[in-house]
Amino acid sequence: MEIKALDGHYLIRLEPGDEIIECLKRFADEHKIGFAALSGIGTFQRVTLGYFDTTANVYRHRTVEEQVEVLSLSGNISRGEGGEPIVHAHVTIGRSDYHTLGGHLVEATVNPTLEVVVTVAPATVRRRRDPVTGLMMWDLEATTPVYV
């Protein structure tokens, strides 16, 4: 993973074998990111997508084990109840037959590259577990104007 800091932004280039969620969590800790928006494009050699089943309140997973194009990746980085970074991202991928799949990004292995733009906000957004769905949702009352 290579990182270039710009004014309020970071350019991150992930390399073959990098696992995107783990890399972005490590980046957030190392750079003390309290909240940021993510966007990206590139390629995966393996990706697990999630779809939230509102009837059962669980994520259903589907793993795609083939080379795919990342047509669109969007999401954010916030902080959990214990201060740990949480990466919440969605992705649309294109297969070699030009069909697409999309969903919540559970995990993915990069190959050969992924380009991510991180736009940092001067705030820390915390998440808390929603008692009804079990989802980690933004706790806007706990949002602070600086990283804490």
Q: Domain boundaries in the chain?
A: 2-144
The model's pTM: 0.94
Task: Give the pLDDT confidence of 25-82 residue by residue, as tens digits.
Answer: 999 999 999 999 999 999 999 999 999 999 999 999 999 999 999 999 999 999 999 9
Task: Give the pLDDT confidence of 77-91 residue by residue, as tens digits.
Answer: 999 999 999 999 999
Architecture of domain 2-144: 2-Layer Sandwich (3.30)
The beta-strand segments (E) located in the chain are: 2-6, 9-14, 36-53, 58-64, 68-79, 85-94, 100-120, 124-129, 136-144
Cα distance between residue 69 and residue 53, in whole Å: 26
Average pLDDT of the chain is: 96
Cα distance between residue 148 and residue 146, in whole Å: 6
So what's the pLDDT on residue 147? Answer: 72
